[in-house]
Amino acid sequence: MKPFAVILTLTASTVVLASPRIQDLSGFGGYATALAGRGTGGGANAGDNLENQLLAGLHDADWGFFTSGSASASASYSDSIVTASATSFVGLGQMHLYADNSGPNSGFRYGGGSGGWIDTLTINSAGLTGTAGRLVYTLDVEGMLKSTGFSGASRIQILEYKDKQMVPRDSVFDSSNDPLEVSTDRQMVVYGVASDFSNEHRTIDKTVTFTVPFTYGTPFELGIFANAVAGARSSSGVGGISTAEIDFKNTILWNGISSVLDPSGQGVSDFSIVSASGTDWTQPVPEPGTMAALTLGVAALLRRRKGQ
């Protein structure tokens, strides 16, 4: 059974493209998505439909869903003007993403490895049922961004969701003291580079602290999603070729729970967490080897590939 339409024709000239979204998930699990081709120059958040950032008929798209295990995806596109590729490997608590592109400055190019996961958690502590709390956890983020030429650009966005809604920032959220590269009051981390007749390179090795509000004894859905894009910062008549590459195959990884807070912001030691997936989120998620992250994914379910 096809869980959603990939192409919905609205008029003779309007096409809506639909890759996986967080709204397609329930309970626990996730997806991996890879997209490559000519872009529209638009933008979207991790967890949204990202395929509509590419031109219909001028891209490749691949994705896979998982509940247990993991999913992987790969996409590759090449024509007489643009080349682009992307890979994605996602499991509960881990994401390994890669993308690159090359092409003239006269158009938008897009390579994107993306995906994410959700789990439903219930946090309990004696005497606190029905009161407000906060869960504090960290992610390890390691990767590389490159761009060359006049318009090369690469960017990664990591975004938290609670019950499929973005979570407001609070005083505990910490993006590891990096300057915020987008204007937002939501809990997200964005790292990027862009070239202007230059060669740009940036290495990221950060531990990022996120928080999520909850009510003791009440289940809630936690989601972490990321989008690693090799794109273009502009489209112009400037001559020459620009390139971009982003490599987060190693990795975006759940690093465990730092603390659980009571209504006054004090740490709670006698708590329990029940997860729908059975995962022990108090502990870091073991990281597979880099090569395994590129080749695993045979457990991916409901895969649908579309060559453009």
pLDDT at residue 179 in the model: 54
Domain extent listing, the chain: 23-299
* Look-up of token digits 């230059």: 198
Read off the pLDDT of residues 33-64 as tens digits, 9 standing for 90 and up: 999 999 998 889 999 999 988 999 999 999 99
pTM for the complete prediction?
Answer: 0.87
pLDDT at residue 267 in the model: 97
Helix (H) or strand (E) holding 185: none
Q: Two tokens at 29?
A: 């699990």
Is the Cβ–Cβ distance between 109 and 82 less than 8 Å?
yes
pLDDT at residue 239 in the model: 85
Q: Cα torsion at 38, 89, 211, 155 (round to 10°)?
A: -30
| HSE value, Cβ hemisphere, 13 Å, CA-based, for 274 | 7
Read off the pLDDT of residues 55-89 as tens digits, 9 standing for 90 and up: 999 999 999 999 989 999 999 999 999 999 999 99
**Neighbouring residues of 297: CB distance < 8 A, sequence distance ≥ 6:** 32, 64, 70, 71, 72, 73, 89
- Nearest 5°: phi and psi at 53? -85, 0
- Nearest 5°: phi and psi at 217? 85, -5
Instruction: Reply yes or no on whether the pLDDT at 182 is more than 80.
Output: no
**Neighbouring residues of 15: CB distance < 8 A, sequence distance ≥ 6:** 7, 8, 9, 56
Percentage with pLDDT > 70 across the chain: 84
Query: Which of the four pLDDT bands, split at 50, 70 and 90, describes residue 286?
Result: confident
What is the C-alpha to C-alpha distance for residues 191 and 175, in angstroms, rounded to an integer? Answer: 10
pLDDT at residue 288 in the model: 60
Q: Two tokens at 236?
A: 């112009």
Instruction: Reply yes or no on whether the pLDDT at 93 is more than 90.
Output: yes
Q: Which amino acid is at 282?
A: T
Is the Cβ–Cβ distance between 215 and 156 less than 8 Å?
no
Is the Cβ–Cβ distance between 89 and 96 less than 8 Å?
yes
- Listed in sequence order, the DSSP H helices in the chain are 290-295
Read off the pLDDT of residues 225-251 as tens digits, 9 standing for 90 and up: 999 999 888 888 788 899 999 999 988
